[in-house]
């Protein structure tokens, strides 16, 4: 495991269903190379994948910033999109505004945000309607 801190940034494009998951797969491979524990990698990978699917399904585009150090992994997903009018409602399991197309892909069941939160040790979200949403989460290394 490296003792240094480093940062990588990734761009995700909205509505790119064919490419959805590419960034999460890349981040997972990167964390493996750095040498985090398997359980840490799995939690980050699942949370980032959910976040990436959210961007593809709902936002126009997003920048994902990944910060790694021996303490853990911090992720910021900063999107340009419609925003979330009521975050508390959006955080409820099963609440979804997904379209049929999203559901055909196996997503849009209203599990995304709750599942990100469940896999993270720290989780925060803020959103502005007609502007975008920022989700930040941290998974501690163990």
Interaction site with another protein (CB under 8 A): 17-18, 20-21, 24-25, 28, 38, 42, 45-46, 49-50, 76, 87-88, 91, 104-112, 114-115, 117-118, 123-126, 134, 136
Is 97 or 115 the residue whose CB approaches another protein more closely? 115
Is 69 or 121 the residue whose CB approaches another protein more closely? 121
What's the min distance (Å) between Cβ of 141 and another protein?
18
Is 3 or 94 the residue whose CB approaches another protein more closely? 94
Beta bridge partner(s), residue 66: 8, 75
What's the min distance (Å) between Cβ of 90 and another protein?
9
Q: Rounded distance, CA 112 to CA 54, Å?
A: 7
97-113: burial string, b at 16+ Cβ within 10 Å, e else: ebeeebeeeebbebebb
Let me know the angle formed at the C-alpha of 25 by 72 and 121, rounded to the nearest 5 degrees: 30
What's the min distance (Å) between Cβ of 69 and another protein?
19
What's the min distance (Å) between Cβ of 93 and another protein?
9
Let me know the angle formed at the C-alpha of 19 by 102 and 77, rounded to the nearest 5 degrees: 80
């Amino acid at each position: 495991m490296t003792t240094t801190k480093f940062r990588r940034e990734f761009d995700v494009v909205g509505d790119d269903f064919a490419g959805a998951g590419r960034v999460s797969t890349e981040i997972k491979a990167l964390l493996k190379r750095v040498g985090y524990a398997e359980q840490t990698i799995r939690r980050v990978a699942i949370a980032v994948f959910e976040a990436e699917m959210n961007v593809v399904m709902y936002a126009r585009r997003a920048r994902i910033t990944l910060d790694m150090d021996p303490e853990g992994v911090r992720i910021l997903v900063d999107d340009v999109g419609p925003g979330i009018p009521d975050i508390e409602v959006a955080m409820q399991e099963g609440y979804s505004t997904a379209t049929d197309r999203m559901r055909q892909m196996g997503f849009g069941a209203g599990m995304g945000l709750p599942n990100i939160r469940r896999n993270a040790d720290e989780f925060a979200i803020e959103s502005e309607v007609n502007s975008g949403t920022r989700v930040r989460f941290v998974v501690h290394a163990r």
